[in-house]
Amino acid sequence: MLNLARVRVNDAIASLGGDILTDLQPFSQVMYNAGWRKFQTFLTYLGHSRFKQSVVLLGFPVLANLDPATQVSLAWTGSFDGTSYYSSPALPQDLILPLKIWERVSGMSAAFHREPMYQALDGLESRQIAQAFQGEWEWREDAIWMPGSRQVEDFKIEYAAFLPDAVTSGATSWTQQPVPVMRALSPLANYVAAEVAAPRDDLDAGTFLQQAEDETRQLFSVEARQKQRTTTSRRGHSSAFRRPARY
Q: What is the pLDDT of residues 162-180, one digit of tens each?
A: 999 999 999 999 999 999 9
Q: For residue 243, is it within any domain?
A: no
Q: What is the pLDDT of residues 212-227, one digit of tens each?
A: 999 999 999 887 776 6
* Per-residue pLDDT, 227: 66
More confident residue, 240 or 114: 114
Say if residue 62 is in the same domain as residue 38. no
Q: How many CB atoms lie within 10 A of CB 94?
A: 15
Of the candidates 160, 164, 196, 192, the one whose C-alpha atom is nearest the C-alpha of residue 178 is: 164
Residue after which a domain boundary falls, among 129, 161, 193: 161
Residue after which a domain boundary falls, among 109, 140, 161: 161
Say if residue 74 is in the same domain as residue 129. yes
Say if residue 127 is in the same domain as residue 173. no
Q: For residue 233, is it within any domain?
A: no
Specify the number of domains making up the chain. Answer: 2
Q: What is the pLDDT of residues 77-126, one digit of tens each?
A: 999 999 999 999 999 999 989 999 999 999 988 899 999 999 999 999 88
Say if residue 70 is in the same domain as residue 112. yes
Instruction: With beta carbons less than 8 A apart as the criterion, state whether 95 and 159 touch.
Output: yes
Query: Which residues, at least 6 apart from 205, have a Cβ–Cβ distance to it below 8 Å?
Result: 194, 197, 198
Say if residue 60 is in the same domain as residue 136. yes
Q: What is the pLDDT of residues 12-36, one digit of tens each?
A: 998 999 999 999 999 999 999 999 9
Say if residue 155 is in the same domain as residue 217. no
Task: Give just the sign of the alpha carbon dihedral 149, 154, 160, 166.
Answer: positive
Say if residue 45 is in the same domain as residue 56. no
For residue 80, the cross-strand partners are: 73, 85
Say if residue 157 is in the same domain as residue 72. yes
* Per-residue pLDDT, 77: 96
Q: Which helix (H) or strand (E) holds 206?
A: helix 205-227
Q: For residue 218, is it within any domain?
A: yes
Structural domain harbouring 186: 2-49+163-227
Across 87-217, the runs of DSSP E, i.e. the strands, are 95-105, 118-119, 136-140, 143-146, 153-161
Say if residue 18 is in the same domain as residue 81. no
What is the number of alpha carbons within 13 Å of residue 84 lying toward its C-beta?
A: 8
Of the candidates 29, 13, 42, the one whose C-alpha atom is nearest the C-alpha of residue 184 is: 42
Say if residue 153 is in the same domain as residue 72. yes
Q: Chain-wide mean pLDDT for the chain?
A: 89
Say if residue 178 is in the same domain as residue 135. no
Q: What is the pLDDT of residues 127-145, one digit of tens each?
A: 888 899 999 999 999 999 9
C-alpha–C-alpha distance, residues 124 and 71, integer Å: 9
Q: For residue 44, is it within any domain?
A: yes
Say if residue 106 is in the same domain as residue 170. no
Mean pLDDT for 54-80 is 95
Q: What is the DSSP letter of 169?
A: B
